[in-house]
Amino acid sequence: MTLRLNTDFAAGLFGLLFAAVLWFPREGMGRLSIIFPRAILVIMVVLSLALIVKAFTKPAAREVTIEGNPRRLVIMIAVLFVWWYAIDLLGFLVATAIIFFGLTWYLASVEGVVSRRRLAQWVPVVALLIGVFYLAFTQVLNVRLPSGIWS
């Protein structure tokens, strides 16, 4: 998918917004704490303004190409954040089992319809994968993974 977008202008605008977000909370900070971030913020504003000026005088690219299916792109981003939320809620093991299996099914369906038999064949593979990593992290590396509502 190709979008019409002046990338210089977009980058400059992003830089200005980012600088603004950090510019306002700097009030009340001591000199030693703010001296370096303030210098970088000033440089960043100058660079962003330069990019915006360049966007009108000598723009780099006026379109952006998103390779692949944009719907799958948005769904993938959403799945990542749902995964994060679900781990907090249901614990690592349950949340990962559900989302891993669901994501595998969704991505495999890109190539065609996934039969029930194939889905059933995946269950032990997914369980083994998650189990190995779960045990490696909890038993070998001594990492306490979130257990959510089961704790």
Q: Tell which positions 35-74 bind other proteins, by CB under 8 A.
A: 35-37, 40-41, 43-44, 47-48, 50-51, 54, 60-61, 64, 66-70, 72-73
- Strand 63-65, strand 2-4: pairing: antiparallel
Report residue 60: phi and psi, to 5°.
Answer: -80, -70
Residue 87 near other proteins by CB under 8 A? yes
CA-to-CA distance for 79 and 61, rounded, in angstroms? Answer: 31
Other Cβ atoms closer than 10 A to 8: 21
The nearer residue to other proteins, 10 or 94, going by C-beta atoms, is 10
User: Nearest distance from residue 113's CB to other proteins, in Å?
Assistant: 13
Nearer of residues 111 and 115 to other proteins, judged by Cβ: 111
Restricting to residues 9-38, name those near other proteins by CB under 8 A: 10-11, 14-15, 18, 22, 25-26, 29-37
For the bound state, the minimum distance from the C-beta of residue 52 to other proteins, rounded and expressed in Å, comes to: 10
Size of the site for other proteins (CB under 8 A): 71
Residue list 118-147, contact with other proteins (CB under 8 A): 125, 129-130, 133, 137, 140-146
Establish if 94 lies at the interface with other proteins (CB under 8 A): no
Q: 139-144: which pairs have CB atoms within 8 A and are 24 or more residues apart? A: none
Give the separation between CA 137 and CA 144, rounded to whole angstroms: 8
Q: How near is the Cβ of 94 to other proteins at its closest, in Å?
A: 13
Helix or strand or coil: residue 64? Answer: strand
Q: At what angle do helices 92-108 and 116-135 cross, to 10 degrees?
A: 140
